[in-house]
């Protein structure tokens, strides 16, 4: 059985406005520069972990004194807290692993493995390309960007020669996007760049995939944007 002191050291994830404020206060205290005056450190300590005799006095909305102190500090601290909170929430709610990069498949066996053995909740998008074929290099760059925007999706690319089926993936049908989930084929887009302008970007590819309902909603990204543009913490 843990002692009272050990229990107080355990991290606590609060919910609701008061809980979020207290979590932020604790985060702020941990990230303060060592040169910050002791009086300011003590104020934050009381606000983040009040003792019994402090609770009634501090269990309220952010005071004018605290607000003024926050305004004096680097706003980057609050932004880092928001980012950390979103990452933790994403990890708790995520149904599968996060990737954030495009995986190069070097053989037919590697292709089959990623299709058949990936997490059943993971969407797999494979780009079949060939060096020298128009649009392939540009699409690779677009997928590099989307892999960061949609870390829950397993983005892959594979040289048509490595597939062992060059006769099927001729330059006329490249670049091609193959989409799978739980081992099942959801869509095959051949010569996919015919749907874009000559100069296309990641947002164009994203919009195209969204038209077919293949991408998840970017709920956490939208929340981050709203927070950055929002007002003061209350």
| Per-residue model confidence as pLDDT tens digits over 70-121 | 565 556 666 676 666 666 655 555 556 778 899 999 999 999 999 998 888 8
Q: β-strands 123-129, 176-181: how paired?
A: antiparallel
What was the pLDDT predicted at 92? 53
* Residue ranges for the chain with pLDDT beneath 70: 1-79, 81-96, 218-234
Residues whose CB is less than 8 angstroms from the CB of residue 104 and which lie 6 or more positions away in sequence, other chains included: 156, 157, 158
Q: Which of 124, 128, 127, 114 is nearest to 161 (CA)?
A: 128
Q: Which of 148, 211, 147, 154 is nearest to 182 (CA)?
A: 154
The whole-model pTM stands at 0.56
What was the pLDDT predicted at 2? 46
What was the pLDDT predicted at 190? 95
What was the pLDDT predicted at 3? 45
What was the pLDDT predicted at 25? 57
Give the other-Cβ count within 10 Å of 190's Cβ: 16
Give the C-alpha separation, 176 to 189, whole Å: 6
What was the pLDDT predicted at 217? 79
Beta bridge partners of 157: 104, 127
What was the pLDDT predicted at 145? 96
Give the C-alpha separation, 149 to 137, whole Å: 19
Contact 179, 187 (CB under 8 A): yes
What was the pLDDT predicted at 164? 84
């Amino acid at each position: 059985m843990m002692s009272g002191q050990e229990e107080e050291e355990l991290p606590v994830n609060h919910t609701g406005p008061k809980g979020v404020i207290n979590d932020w206060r604790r985060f702020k205290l941990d990230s303060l520069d060592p040169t910050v005056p002791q009086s300011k450190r003590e104020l934050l300590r009381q606000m983040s972990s009040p003792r019994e005799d402090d609770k009634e006095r501090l269990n309220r909305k952010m005071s004018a004194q605290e607000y003024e102190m926050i305004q004096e500090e680097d706003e980057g601290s609050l932004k880092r807290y928001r980012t950390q909170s979103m990452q933790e929430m994403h990890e708790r709610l995520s149904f599968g692993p996060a990737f954030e990069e495009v995986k190069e498949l070097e053989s037919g066996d590697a292709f089959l493995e990623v299709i058949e053995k990936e997490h059943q909740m993971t969407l797999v998008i494979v780009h079949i390309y060939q060096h020298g074929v128009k649009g392939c290099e540009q699409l690779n760059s677009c997928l590099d960007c989307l892999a960061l925007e949609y870390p829950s999706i397993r983005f892959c690319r594979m040289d048509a020669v490595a597939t062992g089926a060059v006769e099927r993936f001729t330059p006329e049908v490249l670049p091609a996007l193959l989409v799978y989930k739980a081992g099942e084929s959801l869509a095959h887009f051949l010569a996919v760049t015919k749907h874009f302008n000559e100069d296309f970007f990641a947002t164009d590819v994203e919009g195209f995939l969204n038209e077919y309902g293949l991408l998840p909603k970017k709920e956490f990204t939208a929340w981050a944007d709203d927070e950055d543009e929002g007002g003061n913490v209350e």
